[in-house]
Chain A
């Protein structure tokens, strides 16, 4: 009986997990690219590890490469709305939430970190890069495992 219940729960989890395709949003720069800084599968399973590790390297050792930059992640994955303004990346139906709402892992990154790339002309600081293409590329593959590994 115990094994039956376990099997049922597990199959539900797998079925649910199968639906977790973190998809880049249509109008983001990431949509036009083949992969992230690492292969998609790797990013899906390990992005939290990278974030935790790389933030320490930036913080304590001053390493500010493209791969280490959360600003770069956001500038690539943030979507523009029809008017051409960036939408907050942690908003509903945006990139982060496409997986995180289903896994029920709340992220508190954006209490501190900016949710949108900076647009040129705002006090002459960082310029955001132009969008690559608006080609709609759905990145398929096995979905998130739903397991958060600290």
Chain B
């Protein structure tokens, strides 16, 4: 004969748990603004926004390759620093989120230098092929990898036309807190989403601007008044592998 679960001590523990959980949740609902932690911490940086990102914004980048110098790696260095992408002196397996690509035209011999990074496509092949859905496009156009569910199958790396993705081939320590990365998962440029969500620009853009080159412009493609939209109106731009119909967020001028 089974005991009534409500009569046992375990049942009492269960009820206590539920009551306390409800009380805790009630506290959440009743006093959303009152946080002892906030008072102790002494204010945050003012960006304690509970709102989700929306499709009203679409983040994009304009690359002016005529201002890109061969041999300049300011954007690459900034990215590596920002995300803690210290290599292991193993170029075959070291991660690279942005890289400088040197082009040479077969017919004319003209050289171009440009940064190549995740293009943050509107129809990303990497998102289509991910078996678990870890690779996804956020509402505001940033393509990310949810490393909590990435199983490290590397199929997205096969699918990406831009070779934007890297696989983490070894144990990592000393990660930058705002850029979690770990062994066995796939990663790529996040448009510095941790910065963008706090109204800042990606590290590469900031570095290029501060160094005075001005080759990279970042902003909201949906906003006609943004700097990037102005650039796109002023100069003829293309997408890399435009024939694939991916509608990339990164546009290039001068190739």
Which residues from chain A sit less than 8 Å from chain B, CB to CB?
10, 14, 32-39, 41-42, 45-46, 55-57, 59-67, 71, 74, 76, 111-118, 123, 125-126, 129, 132, 145
Contacts and interface: CB of A to CB of B under 8 A. Distances in A.
B102 interface: no
Contact of B185 (A42, A59, A112): A112
A41 B197 CA distance: 32
B174 interface: yes
B21 A46 contact: yes
Given A35-B36, A71-B177, A41 B20 contact: yes
A126 B167 CA distance: 26
B52 A66 contact: no
A59 B144 contact: yes
Nearest to B25: A42
Interface of B: 9-10, 13, 17, 20-21, 23-25, 27-28, 35-38, 40-42, 44, 47-53, 81-82, 136, 138-140, 144, 146-148, 171-178, 180-185, 193-194, 197-198
B41 A129 contact: yes
A111 B193 CA distance: 20
A118 B47 CA distance: 19
B181 A42 contact: no
Task: Please name the 7 residue pairs, one residue from A and one from B, whose CB atoms are nearest each other, closest first.
Answer: A42-B24, A112-B182, A61-B52, A62-B53, A111-B182, A112-B180, A114-B177
Given A45-B20, A45-B21, 19 more contacts: A42-B27, A45-B17, A46-B24, A57-B52, A61-B138, A66-B37, A66-B44, A67-B35, A76-B37, A111-B183, A112-B181, A112-B182, A113-B182, A114-B176, A123-B82, A126-B178, A129-B42, A145-B13, A145-B17
Contacts of A14: 9
Given A59-B146, A59-B148, A126 B24 contact: no
Contacts of A37: 35, 37
Contact of A62 (B136, B175, B197): B197
Q: By CB atoms of chain A within 10 A, which of B37, B147, B171 has the most?
A: B37
A128 to B, nearest CB: 9
Contacts of B52: 57, 61-63
A6 to B, nearest CB: 10
A5 to B, nearest CB: 15
Contact of A113 (B21, B23, B175): B175
* Main DSSP-derived SS at the A contact region: loop
Nearest to B44: A66
Contacts of B17: 45, 145
B177 A117 contact: yes
Contacts of A123: 81-82
Contacts of A125: 82, 176, 178
Contacts of A76: 37
A118 B197 contact: no
Given A112-B147, A118-B177, A61 B53 contact: yes
B70 to A, nearest CB: 26
11 contacts: A14-B9, A41-B20, A45-B21, A61-B52, A61-B138, A62-B197, A63-B50, A71-B178, A112-B147, A114-B174, A114-B175
Contacts of A46: 21, 24
A126 to B, nearest CB: 6
Nearest to B181: A112
A35 B47 CA distance: 22
A62 to B, nearest CB: 4
Contacts of A57: 52
Nearest to A127: B45
A39 B181 CA distance: 30
